[in-house]
Every structure is written in C-alpha cells, then in structure tokens.
Amino acid sequence: MCEPISIMAAFSSMAESFSAVAPIVEGIGALYSAGATYSAAKSGQAQAEANAKMAEQQGLASLRKGAQEEEQVARKERRISGQQRAALGAAGVDINAGSPLDVQADTAYMAEQDKALIRYNAELQKWGFDVQKSNYEAEADAYGSKATGALVGGVISAGSSIVTGLGQVSDKWSYMKQPDGFTGAIESSLSLVPKKKYALDRGLSYADSSL
C-alpha cells in the first residue's frame, strides 16, 4: 500500500491545484456577466434612440398640423371677406372706405389672431417634443456609456482573473512535478511497495527491514 501521509500530501497538493483554477472560472463568469450587462444596455440604448426619433417626428407633425389649421383659418377668412364685399357691393356701399373697410379689417385681424394662436400652440407642442427628444438622447448616451463600460470593465476583470489563474495553475503544476509534489509523492509511495511487501512477507516490520 502507499504511505497514507504521502498520499494525503499528494491529494492536498492536487486540491490546491484545482483551487488555482478558481480565478479562471471567476474570469469567465465576469466576462459572461459583462456580456449580459452590455446586451441589456445596448437594448436600452436602441429603445431610447427610437423614442427620440419618435419624439422628433411628433414635433414635426405638430408643426404640420398647425400649418394646416392656419391654412383653414385663412381660407375661412377669405370666404367671409368675399361674402362681406359682395353684400356691401350689392348694397351700393363703397367697400374701400369707412365702416365697410373697418368690417373687412376686423375680419382679417380676427383671422390673423386665430392663426397666431394656432402657430403658438403648434410651436409649444413641438418644444415639448424637443425636450422629450433631448431626454431620450441623453438616456441613449447613458446606456451607450454603460454598455462600453461593461464591455471594457468585463474584459479587463476577466483578463486579470484568467491571467492570475493561469499563473497559479502553472506554479501549481510545476510544484506537482517536483519530488515533494503530487507526482513525486505518488512515485515515492509506490516505490516503497515492493520493499514493504518483501518485509511483511517475512514477518518483519518495515522498520526492521534493511531492504
């Protein structure tokens, strides 16, 4: 049989060698975790960028809608003004002087007020969408920075752990190959078997045998 102490020392050395692999496993885990964080951050960045584009389109749409409403007011004003001129002309009134002219001016003024209010509301809505766009862009930039940080940090952390682990494995492997290491202890114990068996077969204790 092999010497128990030598075998225990050998397996203890081997256990320490296995523990040296832990940093490598830790490095791989760190890389996987960084990849998951990177993927989630890039997904958030893409969503924020899509929201920013949508906010931009909504802002432009509010301006287009405002322009359409202004045009509707302008057409209505032209129709009313035309009706007023026709009615005043039919009554034999000079439409270019006095009260008839004032009536037409009031109609045009009210139309311009309506158009100004529509334009103001449209621009106010666009400003709100522009603010949303800026916020989404800032959010996208934050997600992008997070993704880059996760990737760089993960690679550095994983690389450091793996290099450390490989160094420890190399050291342990070199030690195991030495006479007092795992391989040496096994070989030393096995080399004692013939001598000890020879002594025991002759009723002698191993300590009494000179072999």
Write the CA distances from 58 to 24, 51, 98, 194, integer angstroms. 51, 10, 46, 91
Please, where are the H alpha helices in the chain? Answer: 4-19, 22-90, 98-176, 182-201
Per the CB < 8 A criterion, the answer to whether 63 and 128 are in contact is: no
Per the CB < 8 A criterion, the answer to whether 189 and 62 are in contact is: no
pLDDT of 190 higher than 80:
no
pLDDT (tens digit per residue) in 84-133: 888 888 888 887 888 888 888 898 999 999 999 999 999 999 999 999 99
Q: At what angle do helices 4-19 and 182-201 cross, to 10 degrees?
A: 160
pLDDT (tens digit per residue) in 48-94: 999 999 999 999 999 999 999 999 999 999 999 899 888 888 888 88
pLDDT at 35: 76
Residue 149: pLDDT band (50, 70, 90) is confident
Per the CB < 8 A criterion, the answer to whether 133 and 56 are in contact is: yes
pLDDT at 95: 78
Residues with Cβ within 8 Å of residue 40, at least 6 apart in sequence: none
pLDDT of 14 higher than 80:
no
- In terms of residues, how long is the chain? 211
pTM value > 0.75: no
Per the CB < 8 A criterion, the answer to whether 118 and 73 are in contact is: yes
Residues with Cβ within 8 Å of residue 9, at least 6 apart in sequence: 180, 185
Higher pLDDT, 62 or 161: 62
Per the CB < 8 A criterion, the answer to whether 52 and 133 are in contact is: yes
pLDDT of 178 higher than 80:
no
pLDDT at 52: 95
pLDDT at 146: 84
Q: What is the DSSP letter of 94?
A: -
Domain boundaries, the chain: 4-10+20-193
Residues with Cβ within 8 Å of residue 180, at least 6 apart in sequence: 9
Structure tokens at 56: 């931009």
pLDDT of 182 higher than 70:
no
Per the CB < 8 A criterion, the answer to whether 27 and 161 are in contact is: yes
pLDDT of 20 higher than 60:
no
